[in-house]
Amino acid sequence: MNVALNMRLCAYDLLSGRVESDSISLMFLEATTLASVTTLLEVSLRENYGINPAPIFEKAGIPLGAPASTGARYPLTSVRKMWELARDETGDEAVGLKTGRLAKATQFHAFGYSWLASSTLLEGLQRLTRYSELVSTASAKLTLVEEPHSYALSATFPDSSQAPPREGIDCGMTALLALCDSVAEKEIRPLKVELSCPIPADPQVYRDALRSTVHFNADVGAIHFRKEDLLAALPGGTPAVARATDRVIEQYIETLDPTKVATKVRELLIELLPSGGVDQDAVCSRLNRSRSSLLRQLQEEGVSYRDVLDGTRQTLAEDYLKQKKHSHAEIAFMLGFSDQSNFARAFKRWTAKTPGQFQETVS
């Protein structure tokens, strides 16, 4: 079975409900991590270190083996304990780096299939920044910024008490490179990597694992990718599957905490955008909140009003453009822009493409 057909079948399973998406209501107030990610460490302990993972997982309160469903999640406190025990048992501060290398896209719920179906690595990384909550609701904000000759994927942690452990961050970096390799069908080597952590005992381990020069004690952690690597067409790009799985991801994320203010703002914006109602005061009025209260609550969730507005507009814009049923002027109106040129500039900022260029890539 070819990759494209396999992804279509998996997307059908996800959309038809054959693959269950758990909503663990008791964990709404606690950061959680996708359960399948912990199986990476289970395999790593056995294969890389010859260690029985059972005692570590038992002490951390995490079951061994594949989770009961693809959408199951574990509390961040348990995952943090798991990494601490693994580091102590292996005596290896780079245990996260070695574990991430084992990652496969299909271990990341619907995001994995959306990643496999992305037309370019740039699209894949944009999806990662948009849907990072699927993997972990820990306090982390991912940002992808265009630079003259590269794109910088950076991570900040607004609430250090809810941030992922260092080993988890290390695992995430090498897992990302493994996923990049899998869809690009070649090794992706970053231009440089900047880490906010102190210099480890053996910095060369990080240079080898991340395939790049690594700078420590940075103000913000970031991986810098070459533009040509991110803009190159991927052999497995399947826009129809990507669109379908994007919707599954969005629905799944909504189940993680439907009480979030950002969710309520997003739903209201979808209703108000065609009438140009993107003014914060109008949104505040509909939500019965003062402007300062709304902005504070959004900040506590790690986003700004502008983040939610741009994210909502981008998602809708891409859907409208893919449908090819509306003119660009009509789309600009439906998204609440004053004119088509303002929409075009915003879309280029979001995707590094004009609306027309984006439509040319849609099958």
Q: Where are the domains of the chain?
A: 3-231, 260-360
Of residues 271 and 246, more confidently modeled: 246
User: What is the predicted pLDDT for the residue at 252?
Assistant: 84
pLDDT, tens only, 38-74:
999 999 999 999 999 999 999 998 999 888 777 888 8
Alpha carbons 198 and 218: distance in angstroms, whole number = 9
CATH number of 260-360: 1.10.10.60
Alpha carbons 158 and 51: distance in angstroms, whole number = 35
User: What is the predicted pLDDT for the residue at 28?
Assistant: 36
Roughly what angle, to the nearest 10 degrees, separates helices 3-16 and 239-256?
Answer: 30
- Global pTM value: 0.70
User: How far, CA to CA in Å, does 213 sit from each of 92, 112, 152?
Assistant: 21, 28, 14
Looking at domain 3-231, its CATH class is: alpha beta
pLDDT, tens only, 78-136:
999 999 999 999 999 999 999 999 999 999 999 999 999 999 999 999 999 999 989 99
Give the contacts of 5 (CB within 8 A, at least 6 positions apart).
Answer: none
Residue matched to tokens 């983040």: 307
